[in-house]
A = this chain, B = another copy of it.
Amino acid sequence: MAEKRVYFFGNGKAEGNAKMKELLGGKGANLAEMTNLGVPVPPGFTIATKVCGEYYKSGGKWPKGLAEEVAANLAKLEKAMGMRLGDPERPLLVSVRSGAASSMPGMMDTVLNLGLNDDVIEGIIRKTGNPRFAWDIYRRFIDMFGDVVMGCDHEYFEEKIHAAKKKAGVEVDSELSAEQLHAVVEEYKKVYKQHVGKMFPQDGMDQLKHAIDAVFGSWNGARAVRYRELNKITGLLGTAVNVQAMVFGNMGEDCGTGVCFTRNPSTGQKEFYGEFLMNAQGEDVVAGIRTPIELSKLNKVMPKAYKELTRLMTRLEKHYKDMQDMEFTIQEKKLYILQTRTGKRTAPAAVRIAVDMVNERLIPKKDAVMRVTPDQLDQLLHPHFDAKAKRDVIASGLPASPGAAVGQVVFTADTAEEWRDKGKKVILVRKETSPEDIGGMDAAEGILTAFGGMTSHAAVVARGMGKCCVAGVAGLNIDYVTKKFTTGKVTVKEGDWISLDGSKGEVIKGQVPTVEPELSGEFGKFMKICDQIRTLGIRTNADTPADSKRARDFGAEGIGLTRTEHMFFEGDRIWPVRQMILAADDYAAMLTNLDMAENDKARKAVEKEYSVAKKQFEGALKQLLPLQRGDFEGIFTAMAGLPVTVRLLDPPLHEFLPQDAASQAEMARRLGVKPKVVQEKVASLHEFNPMLGHRGCRLSITYPAIARMQGRAIIEAALNVKKKGKKVLPEIMIPLVGTVAELKIVKDDIVDEINAVFKERKAKIPYMVGTMIEVPRAALTADEIATEAQFFSFGTNDLTQMTMGFSRDDAGKFLGEYVRKGIYKDDPFQKLDQTGVGKLVEMGTKLGRKVRKNLKVGICGEHGGEPSSIEFCHRVGMNYVSCSPFRVPIARLAAAQAAVRNK
């Protein structure tokens, strides 16, 4: 017996099944499976993938026996349908599709209605009495066959119909009459002849053979080959060819067509949902010319078909264990399922369906967590604009922080706070934001910046606040003096209303109505399922008690990053800090000279010489200590029982000084020095590359007293909160460490100060000292660093900047182009670059654990809230990820999905 090459499916039985994907391709195996399930799919047959290989081996010839096998299966198909290819009275029309074992763009698209020819058309006209319909499908078939199968560009056909419309004086295709369409068909045939070099084939078998050849040919088409190369797909036999009978819902009043869902795709409710039209084609349902009818009405019109359909819906959902989106056609009362696939759904529906299906014991929890995408969850967490509202988009930028915001434009942080205090809603518009703007950002509904990328200051802070932000709007010209901004031709003044769509990055004129998010009870249930599945801990980046509380409500299991910068900026604190900075150089010189002094006398002389600097510097710290202690008490209280990682002061000192002349003059006046002193200090602190400058633990090396003050504030706060009966787990984190030596120096200082506190208070509390791994060298020498660090937290924002050599504030100028050109698949500040930066993260984790087995490892960069990065962290074996409060639920989901994927 000859080798079997063609597999039939139809009449409730198929020669293939779902397991034969390699041989029949994904589509062929699926059609076979559905047939075997008793689903009435239109019958047909699949030419196996291996035939494609044989075809190429023989230089593009059909293997011996294939023609006969195709003919035999076609005969079987004709019998099953009671129709025949080319028979004008009962014409069998078929579709031809490619289908390899893996889905693969670049191969041949569908050819529909194969089998049409001049005779068949006449038959159809006779039968339907609708010549317009007949000529229209014929001209479409010639076009599709010419373009897809014979390589005669679609444009050539378009020119002809364009000319016909012009001649007829009409705008759209549907206005052409039957006669005009008939003329178009004749034109199309000419086009075909001219470009293909042959007459349009009238023989159905001839058409079919060409179509099958075209499918085989597309397997080695440039795009398909390139796709396989890029995705490293090798070892496939070829593509299968699926030939399937066409069915029609528009052949009379006993025909119809529709779309249905096994659950409500909008709400997730468990109910049959869908719509249909009698005597219509699938596209009529979509086109909206006739109004489709609600599915349940089908029960009245065709109860048998309806019953059959609902039976199949139940059957298929149970089989595929997910909500199905099905297309059906009823041809002469017979129901055909054209397609069933997993149905798209809204975010609330996704959550509800996942929870319900677990309750129904249809799917296990590990499957349920895969049914909601992190993006869907994100949608649930932010308000959004009413989808029906009109939008006058005046500019577009980066969707830096999702959500919708409406407010009046202000240009300074101070104005934002003032107006907010007066009960106004404001949008803060800045060229870029800086830590000085925090108050204003907090006061604003949303933030709009002209510069900066997805991880610019504005973006990061806004996401942290769960606040809408559009950043990096090219062409946004802001004039702070006249309090105006322009985008192209639109000018917006202070006080004008605008709306920001943080999910799309759009700036909209006026007030767009918003819809508040609704976190239904299902949301909480779903999150619980996620928690049961995930193994990765989820912490949050939170700098205030309010943020801590919010994050805890969202399910955070601790704080992975408390930045302390704001504890130096906020309110009047900035003044002692500025005083301190003015004294800093002399203070550092004093420390150096004390170091070098040989005896007490010399030391005293040094202290005397620098007594002013000493007084100012240490005096400032004394003022800050109780304030920061209070800050920490608030945070520890909000996070009682959970660990809190506090990062010591990180930014370079110049960020605390005003940059414009007026504010400098004001600072001079207030601190009682000459303006020149302030100007010179600003100049002397200027750095060419502040990102790589005097910041992080480098400050603690130069000014150990600052780290000591912070260490003291943290531990005193912890003891105070503990006294109130609450459990506090402080973790002190030293930033920007590059070598174990600097970590040790700073750690020793802090530990020394903490021991002093313990002694003074006659009380102790367990605490940890660890470090951020954000300088590449730290990751490379993590085995040395772990000898001093009790935990690692990967600061992947800076680690990405340094490892890739991008400044995140500047990269906007070229990074877009890099992503567009595919140089980097994603913005590495949004998704962790696993190949490069990830290699360092993995290396650092392994090296660290080599010397300290129980080293706690986490991540506190922006990536800690991004799903693919979270999965990476899971794989690397981290203990936790830390992200902004609003990302916590997303991280919980992503961690659960990571656990499932990597089991």
Cβ–Cβ contact B693 & A807, under 8 A: yes
Determine if A839 and B807 form an interchain contact, defined as CB atoms under 8 angstroms apart: no
- Decide yes or no whether A837 CB sits under 8 A from chain B: yes
- Given known pairs A687-B807, A775-B804, A839-B781, the reply for A694 and B823 (CB within 8 Å) is no
State which of B736, B814, B817, B820 has its C-beta within 8 Å of the C-beta of A805: B736
A690 is an interface residue with CB less than 8 A from chain B: yes
Taking the complex as formed, is A833 at the interface, i.e. its CB lies under 8 A from any CB of chain B?
Answer: yes
The segment from A165-173, A177-185, A738-746 found at the interface with B is A738-746
Residues of B within 8 A of A811 (CB): 692-693
- A151 CB–B CB distance under 8 Å: no
Indicate whether A854 reaches chain B with its CB closer than 8 angstroms: no
Q: Which residues of B contact A742 (CB under 8 A)?
A: 818, 823
Q: Which of A700-745 contact B (CB under 8 A)?
A: 701-702, 736, 738-739, 741-742, 745
Tell yes or no: A592 within 8 A of B by CB.
yes
- Complex formed: what's the CA distance from A738 to B837 in Å? 11
Chain A 774-820 residues near chain B, CB threshold 8 A: 774-777, 780-781, 784, 798, 801-807, 809-811, 813-814, 817-818, 820
Contacts of A817 in B (CB 8 A): 592, 701-702
Contact call B807/A689, Cβ cutoff below 8 A:
yes
CA of A817 to CA of B741, assembled, Å: 13
Q: Are A814 and B694 in contact (CB under 8 A)?
A: yes
**Within the complex, what minimum Cβ distance (angstroms) separates A94 from chain B?**
33
The smallest beta-carbon distance between A53 and chain B, in angstroms, is: 29
The verdict on A205 contacting chain B, using a C-beta distance below 8 Å, is: no
A13 vs chain B, min Cβ distance (A)? 48
Rounded to whole Å, the gap between the CB of A788 and the closest CB of chain B is 13
User: How long is the Cα–Cα vector from A818 to B743 in the complex, in angstroms?
Assistant: 12
Residue contact A802 to B814, C-beta cutoff 8 Å: no
Indicate the member of A692, A774, A781, A839 with the most B CB atoms within 10 Å: A692
- With both chains docked as a complex, state the minimum distance between the C-beta of A535 and any C-beta of chain B, in angstroms: 27
Roughly how many angstroms separate A396 CA and B701 CA in the complex, as a whole number?
24
Instruction: Check A82 for interface membership: any CB of B closer than 8 A.
Output: no
Q: Is A691 an interface residue (CB 8 A)?
A: yes
User: B806 contacts A692, CB within 8 Å?
Assistant: yes
Contact B801 A692 (CB under 8 A): yes
Chain B residues in 8 Å Cβ range of A698 = 814
CB-contacts of A654-698 with B (<8 A): 687-694, 698
Complex Cα spacing A798 to B702, Å? 25
A577 at the interface (CB under 8 A from B): no
Give Cα A741 to B35, complex, Å: 46
* Residue contact B689 to A810, C-beta cutoff 8 Å: yes
Counting CB contacts under 8 A, is A822 at the interface? yes
How many copies make up the complex? 2
For A738, A822, A840, which residue has the most chain B Cβ atoms within 10 angstroms?
A738
Chain B residues with CB under 8 Å of A805's CB are 692, 736, 738, 774-777, 798, 802
- Residues of chain B within 8 A (CB-CB) of A775 are 803-805
Bound: A15/B560 CA distance, A:
68
Q: Is A836 an interface residue (CB 8 A)?
A: yes
- Chain B residue with the shortest CB-CB distance to A744: B823
A697 to chain B, nearest CB (A): 10
Task: Compute how far the CA of A780 lies from the CA of B813 in the bound complex, rounded to whole angstroms.
Answer: 25
Complex CA distance for A798 and B780, rounded to whole angstroms: 17
Knowing A701-B817, A775-B805 are in contact, say whether A824-B689 is a contact too (CB < 8 A). Answer: no
- By beta carbon, the residue of chain B nearest A837 is B777
- Chain B residues, Cβ within 8 Å of A290: none
Smallest beta-carbon distance A818→chain B, Å: 7
Which of B781, B803, B813, B839 is A802 in contact with, Cβ under 8 Å? B803
Q: Is the CB of B818 within 8 A of A803?
A: no
Nearest-neighbor residue (CB-CB) of A591 within chain B:
B817
Contact of A692 among B691, B774, B821, B833 (CB under 8 A): B691
- Report whether A803 and B776 are in contact in the complex, using a CB–CB cutoff of 8 Å: yes
Write out the residue numbers on chain B whose beta carbons fall within 8 Å of the beta carbon of A687: 807, 809-810, 813
Q: Please, which residue of chain B has its CB at the minimum distance from the CB of A686?
A: B810
Is B693 a contact of A810 with CB atoms below 8 Å?
Answer: yes
Contact A777/B801 with A693-B813, A817-B592, A824-B739 known, Cβ cut-off 8 Å = no
- Give chain B residues whose Cβ lies under 8 Å from the Cβ of A821: 701, 741, 745
- A835 contacts B by Cβ under 8 Å: yes
Q: A544–B692 Cα gap in the complex (Å)?
A: 32
**Cβ-closest chain B residue relative to A155:** B599
Interface string of A530-554 (1 = CB under 8 A from B): 0000000000000000000000000
- Interchain CB contact (< 8 A) of A777 among B736, B809, B823, B836: B836
Shortest C-beta distance, A481 to chain B (Å), equals: 15
A694 is contacted by which of B694, B813, B835 (Cβ under 8 Å)?
Answer: B813
Give 12 A-B contacts (CB < 8 Å), ordered by A residue: A592-B817, A687-B809, A688-B809, A690-B810, A691-B692, A701-B818, A738-B804, A776-B776, A776-B802, A776-B805, A784-B835, A798-B805
The 8 closest A-B pairs by CB, nearest first: A689-B807, A777-B836, A692-B807, A775-B805, A688-B809, A741-B823, A689-B691, A693-B810
Which residues does A use to contact B, with CB under 8 Å?
A: 592, 687-694, 698, 701-702, 736, 738-739, 741-742, 745, 774-777, 780-781, 784, 798, 801-807, 809-811, 813-814, 817-818, 820-824, 833, 835-837, 839-840
Having A692-B805, A745-B823, one finds 9 other A-B pairs with CB under 8 Å, namely A689-B690, A691-B692, A692-B807, A698-B814, A776-B776, A776-B836, A777-B836, A781-B836, A784-B835
